[in-house]
Structure 1
Amino acid sequence: MFSATLFLLFRLAGRYSEAAGHATTGLIPTPCAAAGSAPAFVRHRSSSSRPGKRQAEHDQSGHAPAFIWIPGMSDDFRAMTEFYASRGGRVAARLLRRQLGELWPDLARLNVLGLGHAQPFLSLWQDDARICIAAETRALADTQALASATCIVDEQGLPFPDLSFDRILLCHALETAVSAPRLLRMVWQVLKDDGRVILMVPNRRGLWAHRESTPFGQGAPWSRGQIDRLLAQSLFRVERNAGALWMPPVDLRPVLRLGRLAERTGARMAPQLPGVLLVEAVKDVYAALPTAKRARRRVLVQAV
Structure 2
Amino acid sequence: MIRPDVIDLRNFYHSPLGQVVRRVISRKIRQMWPDLKNFRLLGLGYATPYLNIFRPEAERVISFMPLEQGVIQWPREGGSLVSLVDERTLPLPDASIDRIIWVHGLENSTDIDPILQELWRVLTSTGKLLVVVPGRRGLWARTENTPFGYGYPYNDKQLNRLLRDNGFTPGDRQGALYMPPGNWRLNLRLWRVWENVGAKWWRRFSGVRIMEAEKQVYALTALPERETRRRPVILPAARPVIVGRELPRIGEDL
TM-score w.r.t. the length of structure 1 is: 0.69
Quick one: percent identity of the two aligned structures?
38
Alignment correspondent of 1:196:
128
Alignment correspondent of 1:65:
none
Letter in structure 2 aligned against 1:268? K
- Name stretches of at least 5 consecutive residues in structure 1 with no aligned partner: 1-73, 293-304
Q: Secondary structure of the residue that 1:272 maps to in structure 2?
A: helix
Alpha carbons of structure 1 residues 199 and 215: separation in structure 2 relative to 1, 3 Å: same
Matches within 5 A, 1:1-304: 76-137=5-66, 138-145=69-76, 149-287=81-219, 289=222
How well do the aligned residues superpose, as a CA RMSD in angstroms?
1.7
CA distance in 2, matches of 1:75, 1:179: 17
Which structure would you say has the larger Rg? Answer: 1
What are the Cα deviations for residues 66-85 of structure 1, in whole angstroms up to 9, with x where unaligned? xxxxxxxx962111111000
Alignment correspondent of 1:71:
none
How far off is 1:157 after superposition? 1.0
Letter in structure 2 aligned against 1:281? A
Higher RCO structure, 1 or 2 (CA under 8 Å, sep 6+): 2
Does 124-133 or 135-144 show the bigger shift?
A: 135-144
Across the two proteins, how many residue pairs are aligned to each other?
A: 219
CA distance in 1, matches of 2:202, 2:4: 34
CA distance in 2, matches of 1:75, 1:189: 27
Letter in structure 2 aligned against 1:289? A
What are the Cα deviations for residues 256-299 of structure 1, in whole angstroms up to 9, with x where unaligned? 0100110010011111011000000100112361579xxxxxxx
What are the Cα deviations for residues 168-188 of structure 1, in whole angstroms up to 9, with x where unaligned? 000011011131111111100
**Equivalent residues of 1:123, 1:146 under 8 A apart:** no
Letter in structure 2 aligned against 1:184? L
- Name stretches of at least 5 consecutive residues in structure 2 with no aligned partner: 226-254
CA distance in 1, matches of 2:76, 2:142: 28
Alpha carbons of structure 1 residues 135 and 145: separation in structure 2 relative to 1, 3 Å: same
